[in-house]
Structure formats: structure tokens, C-alpha cells
């Protein structure tokens, strides 16, 4: 049973790597990822979820802008 389960997991891993291989190869070749934009999108979605029900959409836009520009404004500097 353990060997069958492990074999299925390895097959799934191999399929995943095969499907994503062009993207993996592009990263290995260029060394560039989209992690920054993915992180920004996560922050925007979190702020939007927190602001659900606000009557003024302008406030939600301002909260999103504030949350996504903290680093540029010097609020997230590493210490």
C-alpha cells in the first residue's frame, strides 16, 4: 500500500513538473519571477476583503493604495 501511494505521488509530481517545465526553465534561465506582483495582488485582495461593505468605494481604493505602497513610503524597511 505504501509503495502504491508513493508511486502515485511521484507520478503526480512528474506530471506537474512536466506541465510547468517551460516556466521553470524560463526562471532558471532568466532568474526573474512574478513573486512581487503576486504579493501585491494578495495584499489588494486582503484589503478588499477587509473593506467589504464600505459605503464609499473611494475609501477602499485609498486603503488599497496605502497598503501596497508602504515599502515605497519607508514603512516596511528591514531592520
Structural domain count, the chain: 2
Is 64 within 8 Å of 57 (Cβ atoms)? no
Q: Evaluate the CA torsion angle 16, 18, 22, 26 in order and state its sign.
A: positive
Tell whether pTM > 0.85: no
What confidence score (pLDDT) does residue 34 get? Answer: 86
State which residues form the domain around 44: 35-68
Tell me what pLDDT residue 40 has.
85
Q: Is residue 12 part of a domain?
A: yes
Q: Which residues of the chain have pLDDT under 50?
A: 79
Write down the pLDDT at residue 79. Answer: 47
The answer to whether residue 75 is domain-embedded is no
Amino acid at each position: 500500500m505504501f509503495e502504491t501511494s508513493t508511486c502515485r505521488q511521484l507520478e503526480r509530481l512528474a506530471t506537474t513538473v512536466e506541465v510547468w517545465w517551460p516556466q521553470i526553465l524560463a526562471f532558471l534561465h532568466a532568474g526573474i519571477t512574478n513573486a512581487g506582483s503576486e504579493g501585491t495582488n494578495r495584499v489588494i485582495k486582503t484589503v478588499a476583503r477587509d473593506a467589504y461593505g464600505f459605503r464609499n468605494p473611494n475609501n477602499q481604493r485609498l486603503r488599497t493604495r496605502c497598503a501596497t505602497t508602504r515599502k515605497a513610503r519607508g514603512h516596511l524597511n528591514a531592520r
